[in-house]
Amino acid sequence: MEDKIVLVTGSSRGIGKDIALELGEIVGGVAVHYFSQKQAAMGVVDTIKKKGKLSAAFRADLSSERSATLLVQRVQKTFGRLDILINNFGPILVKPWKKVTSEEWETVYRNNLLSALFCTKAALPGMRQKKWGRIVNLGYSRVEQLTAFTTITPYAIAKTGLLLLTRTVAHTEASSGITVNMVSPGLMEGGVLPKDTQVPAGRLGRNADICSAVLFLISEDAGFVTGTNLIVAGGWKL
């Protein structure tokens, strides 16, 4: 992995930041994406550079296909390649579905599903050319449970669509040496918690748990793993 370049979307803070920092330990370079928090993104870049690795921050509005495509192109121009894409960007909206405006539906949909689609489409040609690539999408632990989600309806629908996209791209790109998988966190420390917070494992999830799953899926050990949804939730809502 020492020669690989990775792009982590939404990596100025939260899970994305920790994924970027963890990957900074093993890959050759990390592209840190942000939308509004430039200083936070630069802090992540500085930390990675102190480890002797390449890093740079890139601003982009991933709800726009043009902006997402330009982001990938800028990363490729800066580092000379892009081998691994982590589609982490995607804010949640907690609001009763009857009160969600049409603009909010569109925003959640574009930021959680279309952003990953746009970045994936832009990154695939370079990966195909090298016959190697890793794409990991961040989901939600109950994404395969087709049940009612009354307060996160747009988010749940978008993440369900992202799972279908994950498996579709995994199927079509397997012959090109590209794996596409999803990591789906459950209830996380510092996250939005519903009333039912009884986790069988006895604790909430930590960012380190998600990082471990991502590290496995991009590794050579997972070279035959594609189209899977790896649920990291400590047994919650099974």
Task: List residues with catalytic annotation.
Answer: 155
**CA 147 – CA 30 distance, rounded (Å):** 37
Q: What one-character DSSP code corresponds to residue 188?
A: B
Amino acid identity for residue 51 in this structure: K
Q: What backbone torsions phi and psi does residue 59 show, to the nearest 5 degrees?
A: -95, 140
**CA 218 – CA 156 distance, rounded (Å):** 25
Give every CB contact of residue 107 below 8 A, 6+ residues apart in sequence.
63, 93
**CA 143 – CA 119 distance, rounded (Å):** 21
